[in-house]
Amino acid sequence: MLARSFRELLGRKTLIAGDVGSGKTQMAVELLKEAVSLGYGPQITVIDTAPATTVVKGKKVGGKIADLTDATRQVRYLAPERVEAPRLSAETPEHLLRLVALNKSRIDEAIGAYLSEPTKILFVNDISMYFQSGSAEPVLEAAKKAETFIANGYYGQYLAHDQGAGVSEVERRLMDHLAKHMDEVIRL
């Protein structure tokens, strides 16, 4: 059951934040499905920056919105072909940083496509993946262009270990920074 409805979030900037398995993506999916059912589909862009679903210590990590609902067929859906899971797959701190940089370049394309042709409503799945790179401005610009902005992102301890690369700290700091620009932050 939704804590909030899409109608309540219409015209607002909203961040859904929480740890692994807290229901962030599922909440975004339910809000998207509601928005589409209300006829907003042509006005919606979804930028999906999540890596493929992986199971870590018995919990599902990552996952694309398109894998959870066919509502993405009724909106503009922008997603890199592949997003890495740096903290889960890197063998060294240097490898982790290379994967973060690779993700940023892939996600920049999707954000750039939105910025060049914005829609009134923007959903972003797993925005914290982009924040690992230390960059926030393109996301803030996209949030400003959208009349309604709904993003979810990781904010927790479950995946905090980053081999000393510092990306977890940067990610958290930029999630806090984004939260300051939101009308509402839903913590799960």
Q: Give 46's strand partners.
A: 77, 123
Instruction: Give the β-pairing of 76-78 and 13-18.
Output: unpaired
Two tokens at 67?
Answer: 């894998």
pTM of the model: 0.93
Q: What is the pLDDT along the chain (188 residues), one digit of tens a residue?
A: 345 899 999 999 999 999 988 889 999 999 999 999 999 999 999 999 999 877 766 767 678 999 999 999 999 999 999 999 898 888 999 999 999 999 999 999 999 999 999 999 999 999 999 999 999 999 999 999 999 999 999 998 766 778 888 899 999 999 999 999 999 999 99
- Alpha-carbon separation of residue 94 from 89, 130, 164, 169 (angstroms): 12, 17, 10, 16
Residue for token digits 């829609």? 119
